[in-house]
Structure 1
Amino acid sequence: MLKKIIIGLLCMWMFSANAENNLTMRILSYEADQVEILDAEGKVLRTVDKTALPEPDVAVIQINEELELVQIEDSQGQPVWLDMYYLRLSEGKQVALKCITLQTSLASDHQEAGTMGLGGGCSGE
């Protein structure tokens, strides 16, 4: 019986430590002078000046990927939701783009390194 309790507590501790490690996102700056404070469903509660919010490099408490919201503690220590649109975050969404190959008609076409606007990260696949 004692083994089961110890194993259960160990599993809960490992799970909580892993969950804390996954929330390493931070707010690096506020991108607008006025920032909307939202509820958990994304409805605007009020608009505040960015000076009323904590200084940048704020730890994110919770993330709502579906509504693109992050929760932080405001200057009074109260949890508030903010729209990711108004923030510069330490981590962003990663979008996998498939590179588009260009048609070649002449041997000289192989000299150009065009990627159809997808940038230098295109591996040419």
Structure 2
Amino acid sequence: MNKPEPLFSSSRAFRLWRYSVEHSELVLRTDDDPEDLVELLFEGVLSVRFDQLRFADIVVGRAEDHILQSPTVDIPHLCIELGSAGHSAEVVCRRLTCVGGTYPDGKILWTVSAGRPRSRRHAELPAVERT
């Protein structure tokens, strides 16, 4: 696998702030200065893997995208790798947004999204066998 494309790094402390299965959202938030919050908002979360829930500092990178396949459509997802001294995490999602403040009231600093879903209708699909 290729080295992740760097997206963001900060010497500020971040921690898992909220995870909502119902809305497929995960939020990491700075916890070192309540007057100057920064949030990393992950939307369309497909999977998460954390070995710790707090990052003393953070490096965010984009690894190779994951493709969720169905018989009719391919849905690309971002593979976001999070790192800090001594531990790492991975989030597979549709979009990552960095917000200065709190979402949705804060200022969007940057965002990265997975590509649009692609139809597989014209692809060669395996025949379904009936028994």
User: So what's the TM-score if we normalise by structure 2?
Assistant: 0.29
Structure ranking higher in strand proportion: 2
